[in-house]
Amino acid sequence: MSVRHALLALLSEGPKYGLQLRQEFEARTGEVWPLNVGQVYTTLQRLERDGLVESEDAADEGPQKGFHITEHGEVELTKWLRTPPDFSSPPRDELVIKVLVAFELPGVDVHDLVQVHRRYLVELMQQWTRLKEDESRFDLHFALVVDAELFRLDSLIRWLDTVDGRLKRAAAGVSVPAPQSFPLPKARRKVGAPE
């Protein structure tokens, strides 16, 4: 989460005070990510240093100090919005590592392990879903954030389901013969650009 660019985006709507920026940030992210005032001002100082924002007449430091976006800042914001996050290399996901480790360890029932994690994930999802249930506080920003989290957890559960399935097939001795003329690439973990 780039607080830096979020603040830039808020300022692109017009000049704002520091406190106002914090309130609007929390509102727009569905109050899922709380932000302290210090964080706001540190970020604003860095932005000012980089010439992306300018403070209105450097009169009074403090919550009443106003900021506005510079031309350079606008360019930076547009560039950031259109630059996709780096998904090219798999994150060092702890769940994946745990399951991979469990495969190697003797005496560990991977099905059980998978189920433990699956249950935990479903419980988490249940809690997120509970939040959706109360529609009165369920505005669009909040919904999008909750959905994103649900889909993320869901994708992990699906991965666990697949682990189960592969394990079952391996146990049953089913293997799909790999076509000889089409060897698997060796550098499988480096599909995209390196970190």
Partner 1 sequence: MSYLELRDISKVYGEGAAEVRALQRVDLSVDAGSLVAVMGASGSGKSTLLTIAGSLEDPTSGEVYVGGRALSSLSRNGKAQLRRQSIGYVFQDYNLLAGLSAVENVSLPLELDGVAARKAQSAAMESLDDFGLKERASHYPDQLSGGERQRVAIARAVVGGRQLLLADEPSGALDSTNAEAVMRLILVACHRGMAAVVVTHDAQLASWADRVIFLRDGRIVDQTLPVDSPEAMLTKLPNQ
Contact 74, 37 (CB under 8 A): no
- Contact region for partner 1 (CB under 8 A) — 66-74, 78-86, 113-121, 182-190? 113-121
Q: How far is the CB of 3 from partner 1 (least distance, A)?
A: 8
Instruction: Report the alpha-carbon distance of residue 4 to residue 27 in Å, rounded.
Output: 16
Q: Which is nearer to partner 1, 60 or 134 (CB)?
A: 134
Out of 19, 96, 102, 150, the residue judged to bind partner 1 by CB under 8 A: 150
Q: How far is the CB of 176 from partner 1 (least distance, A)?
A: 19
Q: How far is the CB of 160 from partner 1 (least distance, A)?
A: 10
Contact between 9 and partner 1 by CB under 8 A: the answer reads no
- Contact region for partner 1 (CB under 8 A) — 28-36, 59-67, 73-81, 88-96? 28-36
Contact between 33 and partner 1 by CB under 8 A: the answer reads yes
List, in order, residues 6 or more apart from 117 with CB less than 8 Å away.
95, 98, 99, 156, 160
Q: How far is the CB of 93 from partner 1 (least distance, A)?
A: 15
The number of residues making up the chain comes to 195
Please, which contacts does 109-118 make with residues 24 or more away whose CB atoms are closer than 8 Å? 110/163, 110/167, 111/164, 111/167, 114/160, 114/163, 114/164, 114/167, 117/156, 117/160, 118/157, 118/160, 118/161
Q: How far is the CB of 103 from partner 1 (least distance, A)?
A: 19
Judged by CB under 8 A, the chain residues 72 through 101 that form the site for partner 1 are none
The residues with which 16 forms a beta bridge, in sequence order, are: 67
Out of 96, 102, 110, 131, the residue judged to bind partner 1 by CB under 8 A: 131
Instruction: Report the alpha-carbon distance of residue 2 to residue 161 in Å, rounded.
Output: 32
Four-point Cα dihedral 75, 76, 78, 83, nearest 10 = 140
Contact between 190 and partner 1 by CB under 8 A: the answer reads no
In the complex, which residues of this chain contact partner 1 (CB under 8 A)?
1, 3, 31-34, 111, 115, 118-119, 121-123, 125-134, 150-151, 153-154, 157-158, 161, 164-165
